[in-house]
Every structure is written in C-alpha cells, then in structure tokens.
Amino acid sequence: MAKHHHNRRDFLGKLAGLGCASLGATPLLSSITNLGLLNAAAVANRPVYTSTGYKALVCIMLSGGNDSYNMLMPRGTSEYNDYATRRTNMAIPQADILPINPLVSDGKEYGLHPSMTNIQSMFEAGNLAFIANVGALVEPTTLATYNAAQNLPVGLFSHSDQRTHWQTSVPQDRDALGWGGRLADIMQSNNVNQDISMNISLNGINVFQQGATVREYAIDRSGTGSVQINGATNTNFYNTMKRQTLDNILDDTYTNILEQAYAGSVLGSSGNSIQFSSAIANGTPFTTVFPSTKIGERLEMVAKTIAARGILDVSNQTFYVDMGGYDTHNNMLIEHATLMSELDAAVSAFYNCMVELGVENDVVGFTVSDFARKLVSNGDGSDHGWGGHAFVFGGAVTGQKIYGTYPDLYVGNPLEDGDKGRIIPTTSCDEYFADLALWFGAAASDLNQILPNINNFWTPSSTGPLGLFV
C-alpha cells in the first residue's frame, strides 16, 4: 500500500478546506483579507463599555432575496389596485391579506401575507415593527442619481454582493468587515468570559460577525450546539491516534504568523466546544415548542444559548441565523407561502420562548435579505429587485409601527427604474442598524466606526434615526 507524506502546511490547508471554521476557528482567508490578526494593537486602546444587563441581537438573513412586497403590502382599494396591476399573477388576492393597524398612519391601509398570522398578532400586540423600503445605500439616491450610476453599491442586484452589503453596511467595498464584527470589537470586553466570542453563528462563517479582532463562534443547530472534530469523543485506537496527531500539529510553533494564529484558533475551539456544550446542557430549561424546520431548530439553539447566558458569563451576544430558499424566480407564490409560514412559526416560537425565559425585553431579532424581488412578474416568479421591507421584534421595540416610507407602486412612480419593477430604497440599512447598535449599548460616538456611511444619512446622536426603541 502506498504511503502518503503530508507536511504541516498541507495539513492546515486541508483542515481549513474541511470547514474547521465551523469549530469557531478564525478563517485563514478572512484573516488575510481583513488583516484582523494585525489590528489587535489598533483596538487595544478603545474604551471599555459597561453593561447593566444582558442584551442580544439576533440577525435573521433571508437568503436569496425575500419577495417582501408580498410580505407587507397595501390593501386599501386604490393602493391595492396599483399593487395588483404591477404584480399581475404574482399578486396576493386582496381578500386574503391579513390586516394590520399601525399606531401611526400615513393614510393608507396595509396588511401581511396570509401565512403570517403569528407575525400579525405580534405586530398588533406592539412587539414587532416593519421597516419599509430599506436597502443598502452609499448615500441617499434618487432616480436621477441612479440613472447616472452615481455612488451606487458595487455589484448592485448581485446575490453575493447585496447579501454582503447588508452584512457590512459598506456597499462601496467588497472587502469590508461586518458591522456586527465591528460592534463586537468595541463591546467584546463587556463579557467576563473571553474564551467564547460574543458573536455566535448558526451558519458557520459569515461576513456580518467578522471584526478586526472578533470572529464568529460557529455552533450547530442540534444537540448541545458545539461542532467537534470527528472522533473527538471516541476512544478507539484510530480516533485516539488521530486526535494525538492533530494535537501535536496544533501544539507546534510556526514561524508564519497566520499559520500560528490559525493553529491556535483551532486548538482553542476544541476546548471552547467542551465549555459551550456543558453550558447548553445545564442552561435554564424551557417548555416552548419550536417547529421542526431548519429555521425553527436554529432559533431554538439560539434560545438555548441565551438560556445559558449566566453559565457562559456573558452580557452581550449577537447571533447570525440564515434561512435559505428565497431566490424565487419561479413557482413563487407557492414557495414564498411556505417560507413565510416557516418564518412566522419560528419567530413566534422564539419570541414566546424569550417571554418564558423572562428576557423578551433584552433580546431583539431583526431580518435582512439580499434585496426585494421585482414588482413585475417573469411569468412564474420575480427577478432581482432592490429596496424592500424588513421587520424587527422584541419587547423593547416600539412596535405596531411601519418605519420609513412605504413607496407608491403605480406605473411611473418616482422611485422605480423605468418599468422594470425595481424600487430605489428610501431608508438606508445604516439607519436601521444604527438604532440596533445604540440599543445594544454602543455609544453615538462609535457609530462612525461601526457604520462608516452613517453620516451620509444622519448625524449620530443618542437617539436612533428611526426611533425603533424610543
């Protein structure tokens, strides 16, 4: 039998390729791109923020481009007719739209997708709000500046670019750090436990949680969350030998700073997984039943982690949860109804669990997506749009409101690119995220670092631009 010889460099390269970042390790490529390993000195003198209690942000990425004009839509006769004219066979029947009653009215009537009965109840109870026509922007954009291609996001209408822009809030740069990572760089020191990142991911490596010094700690949606190297707990001879070989490699000293940092990160994650698993197993139990969908299971693991916050000894956490399937170019009405139903059930269960745990005022969930779909049908679905609608929920949210401005949908409206069905955003994701960051505990003076474009839309102060938590 032929023998295979592998050096340490080959092994580490293959280890990265096999997804060891899901162990909470620093991804080597991201370290090179963002130079995070070289920036430790630059952040050493940042102010330390104290927290009076626990706070968590839960980012729910609706990957693929949520057709949010069929999530939140007009239902008054005149506005519904404009909507139905544009959407044609993609329109939800007017009689099926679930009515909502915003506390502040713009004179129009609105409603929700018929699959969102729980979201409707949360909105009416004041625990959920919508942000209308929000999107990634470099600066305020009009139809004229759009047509002149003036300071637009790079890769506009591209899935990968637009999804990244929502996670970085720096749409003019493909190599920016995540705004959740920049937030964590400032606030990680709030947590007594410095072994496990403030940023917890249910979907492995993501841009949102990548900071200069803080990276995501990736967990699984099942069991006790921690992902361990295959055979980590098996005592047979071959797995014991494999663990010992890996430990020897990781314990070695490397002359290359990135190799050394990566080895240290993987080695550290092995110990962290044991600590994390123990905390999850011994966290406060709850009886709330979550749906057995991927989004339901991921939000249940977020809930278990929050239930273990005391054992983990943390004051601040962010969570990243990805829900795929929103790239509905065809069979849209059926597929989108299923997605809305699954999202509705999972979000409702999660909020109910937060109430059961007594932390509904300390945990805020919020949705983001690549973009909205076009208003116009492509025959059986809809293609890539731009501005769309999101929602935010939690006991601290000033709910039962629609923030921002819901656009007119008539043919030739001043926000649409001709008759192509793409709506230019009127609220920047920077404004959305500024409210979240301030609630989380960031100072107004930090916002230029967390959201570099914020001054293009709003002058930072202690009260957020949208007023989501006033």
pLDDT at 271: 57
Q: Which of 54-68, 141-155, 241-255 has the lowest mean pLDDT?
A: 241-255
pLDDT of residue 38: 30
Give the pLDDT band of residue 40 (cuts 50, 70, 90).
very low
Q: What pLDDT digit, counting tens, does each position of 381-405 carry?
A: 999 999 999 999 999 999 999 999 9
- Can you tell me the mean pLDDT for 177-196? 96
Does the residue 267 lie in any domain?
Answer: no
In the prediction, which pLDDT does 388 show? 98
DSSP state of 131: E
What's the pLDDT score for residue 252? 52
The tokens describing 416, both together, are 């649409």
Percent of the chain with pLDDT over 70: 79
The phi-psi region of residue 321 (left if phi > 0; otherwise alpha if psi is between -120 and 50; otherwise beta) is beta
Range of the domain at 432: 55-225+280-456
pLDDT value at residue 226: 74
Are 385 and 65 in contact by the 8 Å Cβ rule? The answer is: yes
Which CATH number does the domain housing residue 286 bear?
Answer: 3.40.720
Nearest to 98 by CA among 117, 83, 82, 78: 117
Mean pLDDT of the chain: 85
Closest CA relative to residue 275, chosen from 321, 314, 247: 314
Using the predicted structure, report yes or no on whether residue 48 has a pLDDT greater than 90: no
pLDDT, tens digit, for every residue of 83-93? 999 999 999 99
Average pLDDT over residues 55-82: 98
Return the closest-CA partner of residue 55 out of 361, 299, 457, 371: 361
Angle (CA) 340-133-140 rounded to 5° is 150
Give the separation between CA 394 and CA 427, rounded to whole angstroms. Answer: 21
The CA distance from 395 to 360, in Å, is 5
User: Could you tell me the two tokens for 389?
Assistant: 């609608």
Least confident stretch, 41-55, 166-180, 225-239, 317-331: 41-55
Q: Which range has the top average pLDDT, 247-256, 415-424, 431-440?
A: 431-440
pLDDT value of position 436: 98
Residues 167, 232: Cα–Cα separation, whole Å: 33
First to last CA, the chain: 71
Name 61's Cβ contacts closer than 8 Å, sequence gap at least 6: 163, 166, 167, 203, 206, 208, 320, 321, 322, 323, 367, 368, 369
Say if CB 451 and CB 436 are below 8 A apart: no
Burial of 320 (0-12, 13-18, 19+ CB in 10 A): buried
E-strand ranges in 77-202 read 98-100, 110-112, 128-135, 199-201
For residue 67, give every residue at least 6 positions away whose Cβ sits within 8 Å of its Cβ, in sequence order, or none: 90, 326, 328, 332, 336, 372, 373, 382
Mean pLDDT value across residues 452-468:
95
Q: Averaged over 18-27, what is the pLDDT?
A: 36
Comparing 218-227, 416-425, 442-451, the range with the smallest average pLDDT is: 218-227
Q: Which residue has the higher pLDDT, 191 or 245?
A: 191
pLDDT score at 194: 92
Cα-Cα-Cα-Cα dihedral sign, residues 67, 369, 341, 131: negative
Strands 98-100 and 388-393: unpaired
For residue 218, is it within any domain? yes
pTM of structure:
0.84
CA–CA gap between residue 134 and residue 154 (Å, rounded): 17
The mean pLDDT of 425-444, rounded to a whole number, is 98
176 closest CA partner among 158, 198, 161? 161
Two tokens, residue 260: 């050394």
User: DSSP 3-state assignment of 243?
Assistant: helix
- Higher-pLDDT residue of 11 and 271 is 271
In a domain, 445, yes or no: yes
> Distance between CA atoms of 372 and 157, rounded to whole angstroms?
10
pLDDT tens across 86-121, in order?
999 999 999 999 999 999 999 999 999 999 999 999
Residue 58: strand, helix, or coil: strand
Nearest-CA neighbor of 172 among 157, 185, 156, 159?
A: 156
pLDDT tens per residue, range 331-350: 999 999 999 999 999 999 99
Which pair of tokens denotes residue 362? 């300390």
**Confidence band of 248 (pLDDT split at 50, 70, 90):** low
| pLDDT of 308 over the 60 cut | yes
pLDDT at 264: 41
Residue 9 in domain: no
The answer to whether residues 121 and 98 touch, using CB atoms and an 8 Å cutoff, is no
What integer is the mean pLDDT of 301-330?
Answer: 97
In a domain, 23, yes or no: no
Domains: count for the chain: 1
Structural domain contains residue 396? yes
Closest CA to 178 of 149, 152, 150, 215: 215
